[in-house]
């Protein structure tokens, strides 16, 4: 677990052993220039930035010897524009200079919110999943970060940085774990061990309880595996809750596609298919640790999707707790089946807002590329989540739920099909439309406030690291869900 001490000081220390000082470089009209105190330092004034290939492009990093010291440089673009940009700059610094114990950052920054974001970026990237590597793998060493600034951070701001670092590390540990060591019952027990937090309760529903509660989607997906499914219900009940939030996460610990088996190239990486469940668990724990006045109930819908003699077959029909029947036309569209159970359970609680999150469709990557999360739902809920994502510096894109596509999942023998095989039209949107069918109504028969997040692409970064995003499991959307709780608490004041 990352443990860094963050500090601010009006002046740079004269000498700290095992340290690197990082200065700022800006790019004005394609010309790189030292800015802040770096521009005034005699030993740096004569530096020919172009000759030593130091760039002011945003996130560009360099280090060179200057006198008896090695100093670092970070490109800001023109300047640090906002908290989201500060977080990206922090991530770039944290990745480039993690091999020193003490890091001094001497760059101009406008306010304490941006400082907090900068520190968050540094903390978030101090992560490496090396559980299975030999002892020769060296952990990162960064212990102290000092920013030269006349502003200070509050105790609450420093605590939030620490909590974000903890829950993101825990999320990424779960998502990165191989499926032979992380299966439904194991994942449930790990989360229960992490949930020993004030006002938090963790329940595990085994297959007997799932049968009793008519969670037929989770049971159907999980019955092909020798490792039975689980539902984990996490409740956070603060003393004076101002609002209520329900979270539903997809937890497929490995997805072979079931009887509708995936091709060899498509099956790699399917250990990440439980990222939604990991995300809602750790977001709930973060909300509880921050003592936010919002009651949260999270449902982790966990199963392993395997082909076997006991597995669900294409054309099987299952009937859910809310009475709706579904013809399973594609066992590789299993995520929406387990999520349906969670949405029905969440709806029965009549919360102020339901958010579900899942690595639901490959179509999300086709539509949105490698970094964006697809966001669907009713207008008010979408706007609230967009605002929370903006505050967190995470990328979401509002996608529609076209009523005409609802026809694609009508079944001849049941209420719905889980997939229209052979028709790829709007695959991400069809997934959202299916889930919408399991969102309940309030006493006035109006559908409950609901947002759906499809982060099939953002949950795992299989390309090079960037900003504060590491390679592998990213921990995406944890901070956005915490920001949603912030927004709900503010709205209810």
Three-state SS annotation for the chain: CCCCEEEEECCCCCCCCCEEEEEEEEEECCEEEECHHHHHCHHHHCCCCCCCCCCCCCCCEEEEEECCEEEEEEEECECCCCHHHHHHHHHHHHHHCCCCCEEEEECCCCCHHHHHHHHHHHHHCCCCCCCCCCCCCCCCCCCEEEEECCCCCCHHHHHHHHHHHHHHHHHHHHHHCCCCCCCHHHHHHHHHHHCCCCCEEEEEECHHHHHHCCCHHHHHHHCCCCCCCEEEEEEECCCCCCEEEEEEEEEEEEECCCCCCCCHHHHCCHHHHHHHHHHHHHHHHHHHHCCCCEEEEEEEEEEEECCCCCCCCCCEEEECCCCCEEEECCCCCCHHHHHHHHHHHHHHCCCCEEEEEECCCCHHHHHHCCCCEEEEECHHHHHHHHHHHHHHCCCEEECCCCHHHHHHHCCCCCCEECCCCCCCCCHHHHHHHHHHCCCCECCCCCECCEEEEECCCCCEECCCCECCECCEECCCCHHHHHHHHHHHHHHCC
Determine which of 36-50, 375-389, 398-412 has the lowest per-residue pLDDT on average: 36-50
Name the fold adopted by 5-152: 3.40.220
- 185-193: long-range contacts (C-beta < 8 A, 24 or more apart)? 185/227, 185/228, 185/230, 187/230, 187/232, 187/251, 187/253, 187/274, 187/277, 187/278, 187/300, 187/302, 188/230, 188/232, 188/300, 188/302, 191/232, 191/234, 191/281, 191/300, 192/232
What would the pLDDT profile of 101-137 be if each residue is shown by its tens digit?
A: 999 999 999 899 999 999 999 999 999 998 898 876 6
What is residue 14's predicted lDDT score, i.e. its pLDDT? 78
Residue spans of the domains in the chain: they are 5-152, 161-491
Encoded tokens for 63 = 């280090």
What would the pLDDT profile of 123-132 be if each residue is shown by its tens digit?
A: 999 999 988 9
Q: Is 262 a catalytic residue?
A: yes
For 261, counting Cβ atoms within 10 Å of its Cβ (0-12 exposed, 13-18 middle, 19+ buried), the class is middle
Indicate the pLDDT class of residue 479, thresholds 50, 70 and 90: very high
What is residue 491's predicted lDDT score, i.e. its pLDDT? 77
Does the pLDDT value for residue 367 go beyond 80? yes
Name the fold adopted by 161-491: Aminopeptidase (3.40.630)
| Residues 274-292: b if buried by 16+ CB within 10 A, e if exposed | bbbbbbbbbbbbbbbbbeb
Does the pLDDT value for residue 306 go beyond 70? yes
Give Cα 224 distance to the centre of its chain.
29
Q: Is 371 a catalytic residue?
A: no
Cα separation, 230 vs 242, whole angstroms: 30
* Dihedral pair phi/psi, residue 388, rounded to 5°: -65, -40
Look at 150 and 285; give whichever has higher pLDDT. 285
pTM over 0.85: yes
| Residues 104-122: b if buried by 16+ CB within 10 A, e if exposed | bbbbbbeeebbbbbbbbbb
Active-site hit among 140, 227, 233, 262: 262
Indicate the pLDDT class of residue 425, thresholds 50, 70 and 90: confident
Q: Stretch 345-353: mean pLDDT, rounded?
A: 98
Q: Stretch 332-354: mean pLDDT, rounded?
A: 98
Determine which of 75-79, 95-99, 132-136, 385-389 has the lowest per-residue pLDDT on average: 132-136
Q: Stretch 178-185: mean pLDDT, rounded?
A: 98
Encoded tokens for 392 = 């967190």
Contact 124, 468 (CB under 8 A): yes
What is residue 46's predicted lDDT score, i.e. its pLDDT? 80
Active-site hit among 87, 336, 420, 479: 336
Contact 397, 372 (CB under 8 A): yes
Contact 123, 167 (CB under 8 A): no
What is residue 188's predicted lDDT score, i.e. its pLDDT? 98
Mean pLDDT, the chain, whole residue set: 95
Determine which of 77-81, 82-86, 384-388 has the lowest per-residue pLDDT on average: 77-81
Indicate the pLDDT class of residue 350, thresholds 50, 70 and 90: very high
Does the pLDDT value for residue 493 go beyond 70? no
Residue with tokens 């740096």: 44
The partner residues of 203 in beta bridges, in order of sequence, read 233
Cα separation, 336 vs 228, whole angstroms: 18
Cα separation, 209 vs 299, whole angstroms: 14
Does the pLDDT value for residue 95 go beyond 60? yes
What would the pLDDT profile of 9-41 be if each residue is shown by its tens digit?
A: 998 887 788 899 999 999 977 789 999 888 888
End-to-end alpha carbon distance in the chain: 35
Q: What percent of the chain has pLDDT over 90?
A: 87
Encoded tokens for 76 = 């800001």
Residues in CB range of 83: below 8 A, 6 or more apart: 113, 114, 116, 117, 391, 393
């Amino acid at each position: 677990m990352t443990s860094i001490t963050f500090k601010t000081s009006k002046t740079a220390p004269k000498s700290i052993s095992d340290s690197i000082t990082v200065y700022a470089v800006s790019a004005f009209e394609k010309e790189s220039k030292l800015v802040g105190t770096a521009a005034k330092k005699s030993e740096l004034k004569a530096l020919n930035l172009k000759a030593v290939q130091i760039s002011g492009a945003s996130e560009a990093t360099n280090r060179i010897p200057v006198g008896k010291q090695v100093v670092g440089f970070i490109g800001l673009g023109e300047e640090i524009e906002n908290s989201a940009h500060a977080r990206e700059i922090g991530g770039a610094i944290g990745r480039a200079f993690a091999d020193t114990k003490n890091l001094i950052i001497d760059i101009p920054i406008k306010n304490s919110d941006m400082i907090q974001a900068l520190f968050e970026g540094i903390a978030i990237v101090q992560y490496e999943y090396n559980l299975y590597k030999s002892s020769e793998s060296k952990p990162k060493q960064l212990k102290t970060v000092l920013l030269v600034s006349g502003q200070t951070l509050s105790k609450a701001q420093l605590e939030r940085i620490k909590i974000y670092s903890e829950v993101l590390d825990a999320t990424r540990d779960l998502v990165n774990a191989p499926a032979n060591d992380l299966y439904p019952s194991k994942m449930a027990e790990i989360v229960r061990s992490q949930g020993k937090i004030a006002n938090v309760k963790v329940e595990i529903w085994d297959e007997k309880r799932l049968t009793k509660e008519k969670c037929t989607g989770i049971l159907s997906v999980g019955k092909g595996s020798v490792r039975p499914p689980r539902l984990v219900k996490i409740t956070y009940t603060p003393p004076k809750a101002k609002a209520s939030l329900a979270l539903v996460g997809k937890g497929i610990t490995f997805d072979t596609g079931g009887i509708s088996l995936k091709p060899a190239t498509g099956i790699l990486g399917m250990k990440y298919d439980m990222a939604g469940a990991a995300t809602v668990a750790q977001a709930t724990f973060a909300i509880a640790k921050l003592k936010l006045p919002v009651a949260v109930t999270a449902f982790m819908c966990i199963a392993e999707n395997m082909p076997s003699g006991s597995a669900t077959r294409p054309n099987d029909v299952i009937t859910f707790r809310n009475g709706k029947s579904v013809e399973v036309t594609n066992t590789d569209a299993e995520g929406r089946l387990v999520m349906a159970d969670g949405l029905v359970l969440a709806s029965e609680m009549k919360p102020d807002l339901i958010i579900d999150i899942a690595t639901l469709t490959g179509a999300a990557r086709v539509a949105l590329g490698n970094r964006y999360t697809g966001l669907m739902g009713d207008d008010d809920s979408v706007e609230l989540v967009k605002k929370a994502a903006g505050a967190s510096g995470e990328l979401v894109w509002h996608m529609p739920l076209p009523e005409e596509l609802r026809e694609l999942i009508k079944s001849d023998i049941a209420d719905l099909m889980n997939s229209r095989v052979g028709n790829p039209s709007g695959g991400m949107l069809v997934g959202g439309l299916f889930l919408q069918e399991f969102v309940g109504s309030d006493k006035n028969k109006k559908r409950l406030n609901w947002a759906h997040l499809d982060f099939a692409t953002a949950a795992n970064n299989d390309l090079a690291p960037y900003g504060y995003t590491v390679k592998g499991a990213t921990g995406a959307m944890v901070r956005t869900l915490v920001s949603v709780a912030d927004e709900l608490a503010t709205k209810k004041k």
